Amino acid sequence: MNLLDSKGMPVNNILLFTLFPNPYSELIKKLAIEAGLDPLIVTSLIKQESAFNADAVSSAGARGLMQLMPLTAKSIKKKVRREQLAIPEHNLRIGITYLKKLLIRYNGNLIYSLMAYNAGEKNADRWIKHIFPKLSDQLQIVEAIPFSETQGYVQTIVRNIFFYKLLYDIPLKKHIKDSKSYSEIFGLKLNDVFDKHALSGASFMDGDLSKNFENCTNGSKIREVAESNGSAGSLPLSLPKKAL
């Protein structure tokens, strides 16, 4: 059987858990909850930044699980040494603190915070001021990011969040099993990124969630499931101010 046929690749639980692993889960959970962040959002960022390689070093010099530049790390913890950024707990503690700092700076807007994490705060500030004011829909904002690398970075992390929530959010998985309404469950709203149970509100797609979940876990094709639901709807990605 040709897995890469014109309709996509058959997907099951084993493949999904392989594509979206969750190492360091207990450490990430501990440090993220201490900071008031959703551990699965942090995990989604780490997957994109380093693919969970604690020894990763980018060509620009970013280091460790959350790919921290030494100067950025020192802005959070002055006495940190470069070699300490390869230690998972040090890297995670500093990186999570920096991510929370960005979320506070951008009033809880996850899209803006991810842009700044990747492209720098000065670039994010310039885009927010000159490009985004006329755009109300968060998906339109993602499409308008002028750096293709940053646009792809944000899109990939949002995709990661979708699958990590699907695979590892136990209350969500139970709710999926018990419910027939896709729109009731998959509000991948990301509104409450400071809340570990941040899945409520407007629907991400329409359709029958329980049916689609069963299809995905029994070897159906992701693309067919997505197409059966139509195009994705609006994806509000900002925090309520009370959470800050």
* pTM (predicted TM-score): 0.71
Distance CA 233, CA 80 (A): 43
Residue 173 binned pLDDT confidence (cut-offs 50, 70, 90): low
Per-residue pLDDT reduced to its tens digit, 18-61? 999 999 999 999 999 999 999 999 999 999 999 999 999 999 99
Give CA angle at 104 (99, 106), nearest 5°: 95
Residue 13: what pLDDT? 82
Q: How confident is the model at residue 230 (pLDDT cuts 50, 70, 90)?
A: very low
Tokens, residue 10: 């058959």
What's the chain's average pLDDT? 75
Higher pLDDT, 132 or 194: 132
Looking at per-residue pLDDT, the higher value among 227 and 151 belongs to 151
pLDDT value, residue 27: 98
Please say if 49 is a catalytic residue.
Answer: yes
Task: Say which of 34, 49, 184, 214 is annotated catalytic.
Answer: 49
Q: Which of 13-22, 90-99, 215-224 has the lowest mean pLDDT?
A: 215-224
Mean pLDDT of 99-111: 95
Does position 113 have pLDDT exceeding 60, yes or no? Answer: yes
pLDDT category at 14 given cuts 50, 70, 90 is: confident
Q: For the chain, what are the domain ranges?
A: 10-243
Q: What is the pLDDT of residue 139?
A: 86
pLDDT at 8: 58
Q: How confident is the model at residue 87 (pLDDT cuts 50, 70, 90)?
A: very high
Output 207-214 pairs: Cβ under 8 A, ≥24 positions apart: 207/182, 207/183, 208/180, 208/181, 208/182, 209/176, 209/179, 209/180, 209/181, 209/182, 209/183, 209/184, 209/185, 210/176, 210/177, 210/179, 210/180, 210/182, 211/180, 212/182, 213/166, 213/176, 213/177
The pLDDT of residue 199: 31
- For residues 4 and 227, the model is more confident at 4
pLDDT of residue 231: 28
CATH class of 10-243: mainly alpha
* pLDDT at position 138: 85
Confidence band of 171 (pLDDT split at 50, 70, 90): low
**Residue 75: its H or E element:** helix 70-76
What element of type H or E holds 12? Answer: strand 10-12
- pLDDT > 90: percent of the chain: 58
pLDDT at 131: 94
